[in-house]
Amino acid sequence: MSDSTPTTSTVDPETVIPAPRPGDPEITPEVVEAHGLSPEEYERVVGVMGRTPTFTELGVFSAMWSEHCGYKNSKRLLSLLPTEAPWVIQGPGENAGVIDVGDGMALAFKIESHNHPSAVEPYQGAATGVGGILRDIFTMGARPIAVLDSLRFGDLDSGRNRYLFAGVVKGVGDYGNCVGIPNIGGEVFFDRAYDGNPLVNAMALGLMKREELIKGEASGTGNPIMAVGARTGRDGIHGATFASEELSEDSDEASRPQVQVGDPFTEKLLLEASLELIRSGHIVGIQDMGAAGVTSSASEMAGRAGSGVELEMADVPVREEGMTPYEILLSESQERMLVAARKGREEDVRKILAKWELEAEVIGEVTDDGYFRILEDGVVVANIPALPLTDGCPTYEREGIEGDDVKEARARDLTEFLAPEGDLTDPFLRLLGSPNIASKRWIYDQFDTTVRTSTVVRPGSDAGVVRLRGSRKAIAATTDCNGRYCWLNPREGAKAAVAEAARNLVCTGALPTAVTNNLNFGNPLKPHIYFQLREAVLGMAEACSLFETPVTGGNVSLFNETDGVAIYPTPVIGMVGLLDDVDQATRAFFTHEGDAILVLGETREEIGGSEYLYREHDLVAGEAPLVDLLAERRLQHAVLGMAQKGLLRSAHDCAEGGLAAALAESAVGGEKALGVKVELTSRLAPVAVFFGESTGRVVLSCAPDDESRVLDTARHHGVPAARIGTVGNEGGAFAIRTPLGSIETSVNEVRTRYFGALPALMERTRSEEPV
């Protein structure tokens, strides 16, 4: 390893044609195919280069033009999303979106998927997923203040799914716990559609002073490029291309060398060192080496600045002997950053890193020729125009046609399932035992939720809330998506996801402010999948526009299929909201015996796509619940108004499991289990009233004296509202009645079912085959 800055080659970049490296394979159609490039895309590469690429260059293109980095199947659709608002400081295009939160402070936030790595090695896959998203945040200059995780698995009666679930939860926990970032929420959903293809999406939020915002740009000709943090090993090579391929039977075997191991301790040091570095003024740009490692970080930094870079592979600190430039360029070793420093400040940079027991090495410099040039011991091995590499990836608009199976499922007549009347206590208790409804405490008890002493609302309520130290303000965040609705109707399902996220925020007392999203879909080359993708994006765009919650970033994860079967379309929405006064933070749980229970919004006879149908009848069918965005907006304003006036003792979004589940959660989720006595006048089928999942509803409680003010506020906003019952005593009866049906049990029974279900399901983990 030489410690001198490599000198820019004197050759004209346009004419530098790297000679093939000894030992590199020849470029054949098979090699091109193995790199995930279609013959047409390869032609385009040749067009850009004006010649046949070297093997190293092919590797670089394959990574940058993968779906993961190049967004070739999604870019055109993503351009339909609303991205602007006065409070947006940084929209899509950077490592994370950034919004203004007042008082000179800015919030960076982003969601990212680690689905495929987690399918292969759940613990490391999830851990490195959290690591990656944290780096996306602190690379912007923001200190991470919270993480959330959005997870999907197949049903828990399979040992493999329990193994995946347990491993992912432990991975998410261990990493965030060690770095010391509180987990404030997330979601998990179990359905056979995710068998073999779990989804692991992690979201992070970070806070900075506005002026501390820094971008991933490599500007200033002659400025040194430095590799910072962990050394580069052979792990995760070609992870980017891998993340864009379908999983097949033998992928466990084939993908072994691609497992990346996370080191949260190094991440914590890297976090402190990076923030110190950014504040020091010694650097002009910084970016994490995420997917496609050095390749994507260096070329993107050059692309954004309109500059070029020249890197010497022999100077990259490596963990193993004999790594080829190809391997170094594509390694996805974790906990690394690429930094463009100011010329002459190399020593200062090294000193800051050394304080945190980390390394920093000069590996190249910024050039002005617009080329991404790679040297090995002074010999050029790759020389690619940077802009076409980062932005020239072909993008496709494909044919989208709705699948026949979906049409059929949606057209299914559900009348017969609406028939049951009378005592519905048993199905209710069974529903509480569904892992989709039951308490998720088993998960978040493994997460440090209180480190940083700012968590005001912990996981378990509608949205997490962290206060901003030194001000009255607080930030709320949530992730949401129901894949079943999205499968039945991707446009309505995506709208429902946005609406639910916003509802979760207002129920916590926060004003919905901005969105990040993770598009988890199957293979977009299939028309029915592309249809889902397009429809979902359109639905998301419509809802986000209307709610004035611009999309500031996100991530796309396609090809989530196992043996040709796709997951449900799952456009996960991560939404952040603001509270002007932390004391307005509202929780989902009843607090006082005798309080009035009210419901806002309209209950329709909708059981399509419901958890009730899935658990009781093993059926995913019918129309997804209708989403009335204007009504949703009125509802949001009404609830926020009530929270701001301090009228609410509790507010809870009504979602999976319907009104009965929402009442149960409000009754037992808090410190004490309080009884519930509810009388409904609806003459709709009781199954629909209790378990139907009509959107746009909120269950509230308030002091009896405030009931009329709550009703007035609702009326003022044009939101249907009614008092439906009363909060009972601790350990009391839990009763919901309609003229046609009833649920009668004790709140202690509800509590036992609700909290006992997931531990009981997972108790079996340790006694079963993990692999």
Residues at the interface with another protein (CB under 8 A): 120-121, 124, 170, 173-174, 177-180, 230, 233-235, 252, 256-257, 259-266, 268-269, 319-320, 333-334, 356-357, 441, 444-456, 467, 469, 582-583, 766-771
Q: Among 176-184, 285-293, 320-328, 703-711, which window interacts with Mg ion (CB under 5 A)?
A: 285-293
User: Is the Cα dihedral 121, 127, 130, 136 positive or negative?
Assistant: negative
* DSSP conformation class of 419: -
For 627-648, give the DSSP string: --HHHHHHHHHHHHHHHHTT--
Task: Please provide the distance, in angstroms rounded to a whole number, between the alpha carbons at the two ends of the chain.
Answer: 41
268 binds, among another protein, Mg ion, ligand ADP, none (CB under 5 to 8 A by kind): another protein
Helix axes 629-644, 490-507, angle to 10 degrees: 10
Q: Which is nearer to another protein, 176 or 370 (CB)?
A: 176
Query: Which residue of the chain is nearest ligand ADP when measured via CB?
Result: 553
334 contacts Mg ion (rule: CB under 5 A): no
* Residue from 93, 378, 594, 759 in contact with ligand ADP (CB under 6 A): 93
Please indicate whether residue 68 is annotated as part of the active site: yes
94 contacts ligand ADP (rule: CB under 6 A): yes
Cβ at position 249, least distance to ligand ADP in Å: 27
Q: Which is nearer to Mg ion, 136 or 263 (CB)?
A: 136
Cβ at position 693, least distance to Mg ion in Å: 35
The secondary element (H helix, E strand) that includes residue 461 is none
766 binds, among ligand ADP, another protein, Mg ion, none (CB under 5 to 8 A by kind): another protein
Q: Which is nearer to Mg ion, 136 or 595 (CB)?
A: 136
Q: How many whole angstroms separate alpha carbon 612 and alpha carbon 618?
A: 9
Compute φ and ψ for 725, nearest 5 degrees: 175, -160
Residues in contact with Mg ion, shown as a per-residue x/- string from 133 to 152 under the rule CB under 5 A:
---x----------------
The secondary element (H helix, E strand) that includes residue 49 is helix 39-49
Q: Which is nearer to ligand ADP, 113 or 454 (CB)?
A: 113
Q: Which is nearer to ligand ADP, 93 or 344 (CB)?
A: 93
265 binds, among another protein, ligand ADP, Mg ion, none (CB under 5 to 8 A by kind): another protein
95 contacts Mg ion (rule: CB under 5 A): yes
269 binds, among another protein, ligand ADP, Mg ion, none (CB under 5 to 8 A by kind): another protein
> What is the token pair recorded at 567?
């997951």
Cβ at position 424, least distance to another protein in Å: 32
Q: How many whole angstroms separate alpha carbon 561 and alpha carbon 497?
A: 22
Which residues, 6+ apart, have CB-to-CB distance to 72 below 8 Å?
Answer: 65, 393, 394, 395, 396
551 contacts ligand ADP (rule: CB under 6 A): yes
Interactions with ligand ADP, residue window 478-537 (CB under 6 A): 517, 519
* Residue from 53, 92, 117, 196 in contact with ligand ADP (CB under 6 A): 92
* Phi-psi group of 49: left, alpha or beta (phi > 0 → left; psi -120 to 50 → alpha; rest → beta): alpha
257 contacts ligand ADP (rule: CB under 6 A): no
The secondary element (H helix, E strand) that includes residue 408 is helix 404-411
How many angstroms from the chain centroid is the CA of residue 142? 18
198 binds, among another protein, Mg ion, ligand ADP, none (CB under 5 to 8 A by kind): none
> What is the token pair recorded at 740?
């046609």
Q: How many whole angstroms separate alpha carbon 558 and alpha carbon 522?
A: 5
Cβ at position 472, least distance to another protein in Å: 10
77 contacts ligand ADP (rule: CB under 6 A): no
Give yes or no for a contact between 601 and 635, defined as CB atoms under 8 angstroms apart.
yes
Please indicate whether residue 617 is annotated as part of the active site: no
The secondary element (H helix, E strand) that includes residue 532 is helix 527-547
Q: Which of 68, 116, 528, 652 is catalytic?
A: 68
Q: How many whole angstroms separate alpha carbon 388 and alpha carbon 334?
A: 27
The SS3 call for residue 297 is helix
206 contacts ligand ADP (rule: CB under 6 A): no
730 binds, among ligand ADP, Mg ion, another protein, none (CB under 5 to 8 A by kind): none
Q: How many whole angstroms separate alpha carbon 428 and alpha carbon 433?
A: 9
Interactions with ligand ADP, residue window 3-62 (CB under 6 A): none
Q: Which is nearer to Mg ion, 206 or 696 (CB)?
A: 206
The SS3 call for residue 581 is coil
Q: How many whole angstroms separate alpha carbon 521 and alpha carbon 533?
A: 7
Cβ at position 11, least distance to ligand ADP in Å: 31
* DSSP conformation class of 260: P
The secondary element (H helix, E strand) that includes residue 99 is strand 97-102
Interactions with ligand ADP, residue window 109-138 (CB under 6 A): 136
Q: How many whole angstroms separate alpha carbon 516 and alpha carbon 521?
A: 16
Q: Which is nearer to another protein, 117 or 427 (CB)?
A: 117
Q: How many whole angstroms separate alpha carbon 301 and alpha carbon 94?
A: 10
List strands edge to edge, sheet with 199-209: 88-90, 97-102, 105-113, 199-209, 143-153, 183-190
Residues in contact with ligand ADP, shown as a per-residue x/- string from 277 to 316 under the rule CB under 6 A:
-------------xx----x--------------------
Residues that bind Mg ion (CB under 5 A): 95, 136, 290
Residues that bind ligand ADP (CB under 6 A): 78, 81, 92-95, 136, 290-291, 296, 517, 519, 551, 553-556
- Which residues are known to be catalytic? 68, 114
